[in-house]
């Protein structure tokens, strides 16, 4: 779909637990969702000539030709027929195959809808379990992860992190906006956090944790009950993106559901 200057393509909003209006950006190739952040980072690497050798560039060109080839192989006619095969059929045969294709498409749509409903049901049960942990938290069910100091690297800027913290329940994943100091202004850095269901570790990343990305893993040393510090942690996504010199601490916390809604806290 092509757009023109001054044409509105989408409206921004603030649905969910967010700090302001925003617009999600993403794209698909041949109906497959692509990791937008990885794609943008690789494109930036091509133009900025960072960490991308000629061999990698040739690989991307090869992938592009492969995608175009498979796109050309996709049939526009029912049941995967080619244009020549389709034109050789009678009108009744074409009508019959068209109905078969419509029935097949309907079955696929129903299957996808059931998969979405199942995924929503699983997510709802997970959310109910997490809410129950907040309402009746025992030792180890919830923790406080404090960002005591450190820097966020964005492009060529290195901005200090304002001390802040977040409460997590076992098995919970949260995305938060770390507050950064830039002179008198406040900037933010989106960070993804996950506290494993077995309580053994916490993961920190700059992209959704269901993707294969670099992340910081903080292992439970057995002293979270009294508080454990992690010094000089580093998360490098690219030359111009990441977190550095992070000083973190984790301790157990008996949280409530109200604490969960007020997910950013200032450590004392």
Interval 99-124: pLDDT, tens: 888 888 888 889 989 988 998 898 88
Side-chain-side CA neighbours of 50 within 13 Å: the count stands at 12
Cα 27–Cα 191–Cα 26 angle in degrees, nearest 5: 5
pLDDT at 207 exceeding the cut of 60: yes
Q: How high is the pLDDT of residue 54?
A: 45
For the cut 80, the answer to whether the pLDDT of residue 128 exceeds it is yes
pLDDT, residue 263, reads 47
> Once rounded to an integer, what is the mean pLDDT over residues 170-198?
90
**Residue where the block lists tokens 């129950």:** 132
Mean pLDDT of the chain: 76
What percent of the chain is modeled with pLDDT above 90? Answer: 18
- Residue 210 clears pLDDT 90, i.e. is over it: no
The answer to whether 153 touches 242, Cβ cutoff 8 Å, is: yes
9 versus 217: the higher-pLDDT residue is 217
- The predicted structure's pLDDT at residue 237: 80
Residue 23 has pLDDT above 70, yes or no: no
**Per-residue pLDDT tens over the stretch 221-245:** 788 888 899 999 998 887 778 899 9
Quick one: pLDDT band at residue 266, thresholds 50, 70, 90? very low
């Amino acid at each position: 779909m092509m757009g023109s200057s001054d044409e509105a393509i989408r409206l921004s909003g603030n649905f969910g637990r967010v700090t302001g209006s925003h617009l999600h950006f993403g794209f698909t190739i041949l109906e497959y969702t692509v990791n937008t952040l990885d794609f943008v980072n690789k494109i930036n690497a091509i133009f900025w000539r960072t960490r991308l050798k000629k061999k990698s560039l040739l690989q991307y060109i090869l992938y592009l030709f492969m995608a175009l080839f498979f796109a050309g192989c996709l049939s526009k006619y029912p049941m995967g027929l080619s244009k020549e095969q389709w034109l050789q059929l009678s009108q009744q045969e074409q009508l019959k195959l068209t109905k078969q294709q419509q029935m097949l498409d309907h079955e696929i749509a129903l299957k996808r809808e059931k998969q979405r409903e199942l995924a929503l049901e699983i997510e709802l049960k997970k959310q109910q379990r997490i809410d129950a942990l907040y309402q009746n938290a025992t030792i180890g069910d919830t923790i406080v992860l404090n960002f005591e100091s450190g820097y966020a690297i964005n492009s060529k800027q290195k901005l200090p992190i304002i001390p802040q913290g977040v409460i997590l329940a076992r098995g919970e994943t949260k995305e938060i906006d770390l507050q950064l100091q830039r002179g008198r202004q406040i900037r933010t850095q989106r960070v993804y956090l996950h506290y494993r269901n077995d309580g053994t570790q916490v993961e920190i990343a700059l992209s959704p944790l269901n993707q294969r990305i670099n992340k910081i893993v903080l292992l439970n040393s057995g002293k979270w009950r009294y508080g454990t510090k992690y010094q000089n942690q580093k998360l490098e996504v690219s030359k111009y993106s990441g977190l550095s010199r992070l000083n973190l601490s984790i301790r157990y916390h008996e949280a409530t559901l109200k604490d969960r809604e007020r997910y950013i806290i200032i450590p004392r």
